[in-house]
């Protein structure tokens, strides 16, 4: 497992990151997908923020910086984001489908006006 895959795997399995950033990012991207304003480049930018948080969390948890304390380029963070992208997009598609279903169900309910 290379460095990028290791960090992506850590991010996927850390509950605090999952709850505090992963799920909100997925929900945000799902809403954008439903509205029809989803942009892949902006989605990757959000995931890069998650990668940076994951790097910090990895250092706290494991006790060492995954990149050995050196400065990390945006391209390296983007590479980790690309590792996470397919799994996150699967979750985005599922969440968008749930949102569409909930909106369709909400439209079918008749109002109770007298």
Tens of pLDDT, residue by residue over 9-48, are 899 999 999 999 999 999 999 999 999 999 999 999 999 9
pLDDT at position 46 is 94
User: How many C-beta atoms surround the C-beta of residue 80 within 10 A?
Assistant: 26
For residue 35, being part of any structural domain is answered with: yes
> Could you give the count of Cα atoms lying within 13 Å of 17 in the half-sphere of its Cβ?
21
pLDDT tops 70 at residue 112: no
pLDDT at position 28 is 95
For residue 111, being part of any structural domain is answered with: no
pTM of the model: 0.83
* 107 SS3 class: helix
For residue 93, being part of any structural domain is answered with: yes
Say if CB 1 and CB 40 are below 8 A apart: no
Q: Domain limits at 73?
A: 3-106
For residue 49, being part of any structural domain is answered with: yes
For residue 54, being part of any structural domain is answered with: yes
pLDDT at position 69 is 76
Give the total number of structural domains in the chain: 1
Handedness of CA 5, 30, 54, 74 (dihedral sign): positive
């Amino acid at each position: 497992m290379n460095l990028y895959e290791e960090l992506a795997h850590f991010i996927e399995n850390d509950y605090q990151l999952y709850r505090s950033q992963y799920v909100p990012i997925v929900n945000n991207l799902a809403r954008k997908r439903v509205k029809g304003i989803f942009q892949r480049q902006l989605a990757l930018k959000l995931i890069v923020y998650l990668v940076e948080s994951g790097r910090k969390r990895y250092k706290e948890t494991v006790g060492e910086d995954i990149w050995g304390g050196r400065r990390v380029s945006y391209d390296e963070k983007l590479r980790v984001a690309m590792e996470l992208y397919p799994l996150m997009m699967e979750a985005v598609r599922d969440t968008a489908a749930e949102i569409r279903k909930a909106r369709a169900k909400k439209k079918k309910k008749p109002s109770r006006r007298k």
